[in-house]
Amino acid sequence: MPDPKQEESFKVIDRRLFSADGEIRDEAVRDERHKQDAEPVNSGTPAAAKGSPGSGSPSAAAQSATPISTQPEPPSGPMGGPEAPKPSRGLEMLINFVAQNAAMLLGAYPDPRTGESMLDLEGARELVDMLDALRETTRGNLAPDDERLLVEVLGSLKLSYMEMTKAAAKAMKDKAQARP
């Protein structure tokens, strides 16, 4: 009787798309075709996409050797155009974090350690510039809600920065005039 441990084996499946020569492997083409055929047929149950359990044989369409494109197609929305990105909670948190720090530096919030409002126009300007750079680098790639949030926050911070800059300049001017 053979040793049961010797009967245990594992199977190595090569899932690379290209051969050592740089050619697309036939198995990769069949696997991709099988995935594409299974997606539209899939009615919410995995068994519907794979056929009967235990059959183990791919569908006839999956066995065709028709080459497939190696470049992914862009997703399309209901009108045939590119699908709009979904709002990102992480991006919203980043925008709020930077905006709150900029507002604190503009005197909107008291310093937690001292309880006094602080005014650091240079630091606030740098944070506003960071949000401006974020807006420029993500232009056209944000969800409409994220874009709207970024534009509103930037507008508000820039307005506050201008008001505080004018107030600081006026205070400096009044202080200089008060000196004899």
The domain segmentation of the chain, as residue ranges, is: 4-63, 89-178
Q: How far apart are CA 171 and CA 165, in angstroms?
A: 10
Instruction: Report the 10 Å Cβ neighbour count for 128.
Output: 21
Instruction: Report the 10 Å Cβ neighbour count for 98.
Output: 17
Instruction: Kindly report the average pLDDT of the chain as a whole number.
Output: 76
Report whether pLDDT(102) > 80: yes
Q: Which uninterrupted H or E stretch holds 129? A: helix 121-138
Report whether pLDDT(60) > 50: no
- Please tell me the pTM assigned to this model: 0.52
Residue 36 or 137, more confident: 137
133 bridge partner residues: none
pLDDT at site 85: 82
Q: How far apart are CA 24 and CA 32, in angstroms?
A: 11
Q: Tokens for 102, please give them.
A: 């900029």
Q: What is the pLDDT of residues 106-133, one digit of tens each?
A: 988 887 788 888 889 999 999 999 999 9
Q: Which uninterrupted H or E stretch holds 179? A: none
pLDDT at site 110: 84
Q: How far apart are CA 180 and CA 169, in angstroms?
A: 19
Backbone angles phi, psi at 108, to 5 degrees: -75, -30
User: Where does residue 150 rank: exposed (0-12), middle (13-18), buried (19+ CB within 10 A)?
Assistant: buried
Q: How far apart are CA 41 and CA 139, in angstroms?
A: 37
